[in-house]
Structure 1
Amino acid sequence: MVKLDFKKNNGLIPAIAQDYKTGEVLMLAYMNEQAFEKTLKSGNATYYSRSRKALWEKGETSGHVQQVKEIRVDCDYDTILLKVDQKGDAACHKGYRSCFFSKVEKNNLKIVETKIFDPKEVYQ
């Protein structure tokens, strides 16, 4: 059985979601032990929402599910890398493929990706 270090950071560990085919980093979220176990059992990425203080399976509202293809763990057992098949093409709740849609240029942020969906239409 995998033993991750959930003792740090109030029981949460960072979980990076990466496209398993392209290597593109899609998002960073957090998991508690229950989210990790649910991810293992279901095969779909489940995270812990710090703002809602609850589990959320990625895509439960939007339909943009992350099917886990591979899980890697860092050397300290306190960070997870999920290699996922991103269904619905968008990982970001703001409508972009990746949460990293902004680039720093001359100390300003510039949006460098195109929106895939309008969040107002998806999250009503």
Structure 2
Amino acid sequence: GKADPALQAACRQAVDILVHLIAPVMPHLAEECWQTLGGTDLVAERPWPVYDPSLVVDSEIVLPVQVNGKKRGDLTIARDADQGAVEKAVLALDFVQKALEGKAPRKVIIVPQRIVNVVA
């Protein structure tokens, strides 16, 4: 079947950037690749690619979950989830419920975007 146009565009952009990045080390190869890709100018005359840090930030994070100081598992949750949402999600996990043995937790310690510890 036909590939997704957005995926094709992303792959093409990645190849263009890769060709540009190899230009300082292998200029002849980079220029040859650039011409093969349909470039009409010189790679050496193109502006250097710009790094966008927002593109490398995951929207979800994995938090280790401890019960009484022992790691019991992990929780995958949205990076921007507030502490209330994290606590609710942790207390709903099967392995946390099993470790609590039906008791209410005394304390839930959350280090934002790092770790969660449930004290029974």
Please report the TM-score for the alignment, with normalisation by the length of structure 2: 0.35
Higher helix share: 2
Higher strand share: 1
Of structures 1 and 2, the one scoring higher in RCO (CA 8 A, sep 6+) is: 1
Please report the TM-score for the alignment, with normalisation by the length of structure 1: 0.34
